[in-house]
Amino acid sequence: MKEFMNLTKALADETRVRMLMALRDGELCVCQITELFGFAPSTVSKHLSILHQAGLVESRKTERWVYYRLSGKEATATVRASFAWVNKAIEHHDRIQTDAKKLKQILKINPIELCQRQCPK
């Protein structure tokens, strides 16, 4: 029941679903996600934490940067099925397509420079 509740909470928010869709093509730094959505880093981190708690995403830390990706084969069948359903349902939605175009431009920026620009020491 807990897994189900965590999944429904994670998928009940448009921003979190958009974040999942942004991660479908590969790993992103929190700074790239922040740039894509224009939210404060703390807001992005809160959303990613909820996705992580639901088992939808995994993270890794390198120095002071945190990277997120969709959960892989180690994810439960329910998590994999949930993402497959979301992906199929909205992959062609205008908002998702707009995010994908914007993300393509963001990916042209060196992530280290992007992160340093957002979070100067």
Least confident of 66-70, 91-95, 107-111: 107-111
Per-residue pLDDT reduced to its tens digit, 39-77: 998 999 999 999 999 999 999 998 878 999 999 888 999
CATH number (domain holding residue 58): 1.10.10.10
CB-CB contact of 93 with 21 (8 Å): no
Amino acid (one-letter) located at 41: P
Token couple for 98: 């707009």
Cα–Cα–Cα angle for 94, 97, 100, nearest 5°? 155
Token couple for 65: 């940067």
Residue 115 has pLDDT above 90, yes or no: no
Q: Kindly report the number of other CB atoms within 10 A of residue 96's CB atom.
A: 17
Q: Kindly report the number of other CB atoms within 10 A of residue 80's CB atom.
A: 17
Residue 119 has pLDDT above 90, yes or no: no
How many domains would you assign to the chain? 1
In this prediction, what percent of the chain has a pLDDT beyond 70? 98
Residue 18 has pLDDT above 70, yes or no: yes
| Backbone angles phi and psi of 91, in degrees to 5 | -60, -25
Domain that residue 22 falls in? 2-118
Confidence of residue 111 (pLDDT cuts 50, 70, 90): confident
| Backbone angles phi and psi of 41, in degrees to 5 | -55, -35
